[in-house]
Amino acid sequence: MTTKKLVLVSGANGHLGNNLVRLLLAKGFRVRASVRNLGNCAALKGLPCDLVAADITDKASFVKALQGVDTFYAVGAAFKLWARDPQKEIYDVNMQGTRNTIEAAAEAGVKKIIYVSSIAALDYTHTPTKESNGYNPDRRDAYYNSKNDGEKLAFKLAAELGIELVSVMPGAMIGSEAALPLNVSYDVLRLILTKQIPVDTGIALNWVDVKDVAEGCYLAALHGKAGERYILANEKCMTITDTTKLAQKLYPELRLKIPAAVPKMLLYGVAGLMELAGRLKGTAPTITRKDIAMFSGLQQDFDISKARTELGFNPKSSKEAVREALAYLMEHRLL
């Protein structure tokens, strides 16, 4: 019996990384899992993977971690929409991390990289949005900018260094396996269940099960074409208010209330107060004025026919993903 090749997953203790490690182990691969801090590996406890410490801001750590690796799943990144210094803490980290890890992969002799980008790197001008629309022209958010510029840099470096690189672009990932603190997207469901979204923001999210995204990453390694990008999301988005209605129906005992519709100027006022509180506490506000400006009314509907046809990507529906994710949060008391 031929031994499966060695793969590395960066950011392995994160939501996608953790689920991807589990999937690749189930497929019979030898998995090396890299994390910034070996003391923060609870999500990987008991899994038969090789744990190593590597930081995307430290190129040498990845040159070492990638030795003998055939396929590198580049998952690790700063995934947050708020920081005291977004340029330094989000944009610079992700750009430097992209350069460091791809250059390290080339030095280590890695053959293929599955680069985890984001639907943030898409142009939403025409819907349903597809890969060929190009890049997001909205430059108001450091995370979005890092995903746009990072993916461009990734393709450029891969071409220069002779590495096969495929980009995958996940939607708002939810579902098991997960632990606190939840990622930005999944935390919205927690906020709904704990009645922390008092007003209708007009924001919609394209929910996708994290296990489906993990499967999409694996399929991209099998069937993805070098230099191509693939959307790993659902066709239709759901507003936070419609998501709340679904949660209300599923869990009547929680007595959830549908967020009230308010004028947009009042929304900006509420967001401004949350930002002020966030700055004072040093924590991310539930909503910001930038979030309202960028996302209120934005339709995140996608044409995923390319991923369906070329990769065999077949995600469960947004509603089913939400149902399962809510059940997971309730069952595991992650509220």
Quote the longest CA-to-CA distance of the chain.
Answer: 65
Specify the pLDDT at position 198: 85
User: Residues 157-196, buried b or exposed e (16+ Cβ, 10 A)?
Assistant: bbeeeebbbbbbbbbbbbbbebeeebbbbbbbbbbbbeee
What tens digit of pLDDT does each residue of 254-306 get? 999 999 999 999 999 989 999 999 889 888 898 999 999 999 999 999 999 99
Specify the pLDDT at position 81: 87
For residues 299 and 127, what is the distance between their CA atoms, to the nearest angstrom? Answer: 8
Q: Is the peptide bond before 177 cis (omega within 30 degrees of 0)?
A: yes
What tens digit of pLDDT does each residue of 190-233 get? 999 999 998 999 999 999 999 999 999 999 999 999 999 999 99
User: Once rounded to an integer, what is the mean pLDDT over residues 235-244?
Assistant: 97
pLDDT at 154 > cutoff 60: yes
What tens digit of pLDDT does each residue of 24-70 get? 999 999 999 999 999 999 999 999 999 999 999 999 999 999 999 99
- The better pLDDT of the pair 2, 179 is held by 179
Q: State pTM to two decimals.
A: 0.96
Specify the pLDDT at position 147: 97
Specify the pLDDT at position 4: 83
Are residues 321 and 230 in contact, defined by beta-carbon separation less than 8 angstroms?
no
Specify the pLDDT at position 92: 97
Specify the pLDDT at position 1: 42
Half-sphere exposure of 308 (CA within 13 A, CB side): 11
Are residues 302 and 205 in contact, defined by beta-carbon separation less than 8 angstroms?
no
Phi, psi values for residue 108, rounded to 5°: -85, -5
Long-range contacts of range 44-49, CB-CB < 8 Å, 24 or more positions apart?
A: 44/12, 44/13, 44/18, 47/21, 47/22, 49/12, 49/21, 49/25
CA dihedral angle for residue 37, residue 335, residue 322, residue 81, rounded to 10 degrees: -50
Residue 29 CA: distances (Å) to CA of 5, 6, 8, 173, 312:
6, 6, 10, 24, 20
In this structure, what token pair is assigned to residue 65? 């971690």
Q: What's the pLDDT band for 3 if we cut at 50, 70, 90? A: low
3-state secondary structure of 125: coil
Average pLDDT, whole number, for the chain?
95
Phi, psi values for residue 236, rounded to 5°: -120, 140
For residues 205 and 85, what is the distance between their CA atoms, to the nearest angstrom? Answer: 25
3-state secondary structure of 237: coil
For residues 270 and 326, what is the distance between their CA atoms, to the nearest angstrom? Answer: 26
Half-sphere exposure of 99 (CA within 13 A, CB side): 9
3-state secondary structure of 33: strand
Residue the block writes with tokens 């990453």: 217
CA dihedral angle for residue 11, residue 13, residue 17, residue 23, rounded to 10 degrees: 140
Are residues 44 and 18 in contact, defined by beta-carbon separation less than 8 angstroms?
yes
Enumerate domains of the chain plus CATH numbers. Answer: 6-174+208-235+301-315 (3.40.50.720)
